[in-house]
Structure 1
Amino acid sequence: MITAIKACIFDVFGTVVDWRTSVSRDLAAFTATKGITGIDWLKFSDAWRKQYRPSMDEVRSRRRDWTILDELHLESLVKLLGEFGVTGLSEADILHMSHAWRRLDPWPDSVPGLTRLKTRFIIAPCSNGNIALIVNMAKYAGLPWDCVLGAEPARAYKPDPEAYVASCRMLDLKPSQVLMVAAHNGDLRAAKAQGLGTVFVPRLTEHGPHQQIDVVPDPSCVDIVAVSFTELATKLGC
């Protein structure tokens, strides 16, 4: 199988970057400069992330026209600021906060692992993040992508089949020549259904120290398990 692989595509939020720690840290630091205190920003970040799938489902179901994730994040943020009683922010302040998702730190193994994988394979995100979000994140975190694939180029949010199929098509590759790398079994299940190879890399603290989901791989949809991107690079001969 490995000899046929030409590209590795990656889920990003949670798999490549630590969104929870990064978003909460970013919001806490920024709002402190505005004199805002007493907010549990980890709790806020968790609540923000819970809006992620419902907001995309509105687009996936066609109840809403195509809308990029940056805009969905902004709408969810405005709602949550009200729920958490955060006031006194300008529109520019709120936009800056919504772009916290562009300023996410990579897991320690992400950059060295991606750098090694890049020596042999095309590497690209297959994320629900829009192009501007992913490009700015890559500049911030030093992620060495070859190109940006995923939701906006495909105009389809994962786990819709087109998100995976379009990523392969845009690389002029068959699904069997592409590995989907993710820390989420659901993502890999959807990719596997479209004929991609799959790699599970667990991120056991993505949702905090007591995480209970995506702790172990689902053998029905996972081809390769690696504890880190650097181990994956070793397994793939990089």
Structure 2
Amino acid sequence: MSQAPIRALIFDVFGTLVDWRSSIAREARQLLQPLGHELDWEGFADAWRGEYQGAMEEVRSGRLAFQKLDRLHRRNLDIVLERLSLEGLDESTRQQLNLAWHRLDAWPDVGPGLQALRRHFLIAPCSNGNISLMVDLARRNGWHWDAILGAELARDYKPKAAVYLHAVAALDLHREQVMMVAAHSSDLEAASAAGLRTAHVARPDEAGPGRGESAPTVAVDYTAADLRDLASQL
């Protein structure tokens, strides 16, 4: 692989930078418990997230025209609520619940890690999340991006090559000057196939205890325990 200097880091967000499972469980509990509902809150988060890839595949395959992840999340929410016999929730509650994805908390290492990395590199999300979602997560968690890139601008969803290549083009860089940072080997494999450099960040408890990746399952340029470790390596 080319040894051209890395100029920019682009990041997966859900799971890599934010703890979606605990955050969604918390948000669902805060909204639904006062209405008299008692659920397995982490199980609810898992069920909602479980519809994620299938919904995006409808877009990636061309069966569904591109739409923002907020709209896909809402479609998936309605599916899960019906499955749990909670279809009686009013529209206002559904809207507030859908915006839970805008209120996710970062893993503890992310704030200082991004701050350290930004001293030396351009940094930007390259997420399947829409721009308003990325803006809200950045403001909530105190992140300072140089750009917001990803699916909404590319009008497609990862791991389609167009999403990574659109990010590279937006920064006016060459592929080998941009590194994709993610906790998911499938994301990194696709980015590498598109010509980008890659770094894996371990999130072993992303989907629950021991239900995340502690190490990559594909070849990558860097492996890191967290973002602070990645900053130290780079």
CA drift at 1:87: 4.7
Q: How far does residue 35 in structure 1 lie from its aligned partner after superposition?
A: 2.6
Contact map agreement 1:129 1:151 (CA 8 A) in 2: yes
Gapped regions of structure 1 (runs ≥ 5): none
| Structural RMSD (CA) | 1.3
Residue identity opposite 1:105 in structure 2 = D
Structure 2 distance, partners of 1:45, 1:29, is: 13
Q: 2:53 corresponds to which residue?
A: 53
Q: What are the superposed Cα offsets for residues 64-117 of structure 1, whole Å, 9 maximum, x if unpaired?
A: 111110000001101111111225422111011011111100000001000111
User: CA separation in 2, counterparts of 1:210 and 1:172?
Assistant: 39
For the 8 Å contact 2:4–2:176, the answer to whether it is kept is no
Secondary structure of the corresponding residue to residue 71 of structure 1: helix
Give percent identity, aligned residues only.
46
Cα pair 1:18 1:105 within 8 Å, conserved:
yes
1:223 aligns with 221
Letter in 2 for 1:19: W
Native 8 Å contact 2:22 2:42 kept in 1: yes
* 1:207 counterpart residue number: 207
Secondary structure of the equivalent of 1:112? helix
CA distance in structure 2 between the aligned counterparts of 1:66 and 1:198, rounded to whole angstroms: 27
In the alignment, which residue of structure 2 is the partner of 1:99? 99
Residue 19 of structure 2 aligns with an amino acid whose one-letter code is: D
State the one-letter code of the partner of 1:85: S
Distance 1:2 1:69 in 2: 35
Please report how far the alpha carbon of residue 144 of structure 1 lies from its aligned counterpart in structure 2 after TM superposition.
1.7
Preserved contact between residue 103 and residue 141 of structure 1 (Cα < 8 Å): no
Q: CA deviation at 1:33?
A: 2.5
Decide whether the 8 Å contact of 1:111 with 1:144 is kept in 2: no
CA displacement, residues 140-167 of structure 1 (integer Å, 9 cap, x when unaligned): 1222211110100111100000000000
Q: How many residues align?
A: 233
In structure 2, runs of 5+ residues without a counterpart are none
Aligned 8 A contact 1:125 1:148 in 2: yes
Which residue identity does 1:215 align to in structure 2? S
- Calculate the TM-score normalised by the size of structure 2: 0.96
Moved over 6 A (4+): none
| Structure 1 counterpart of 2:141 | 141
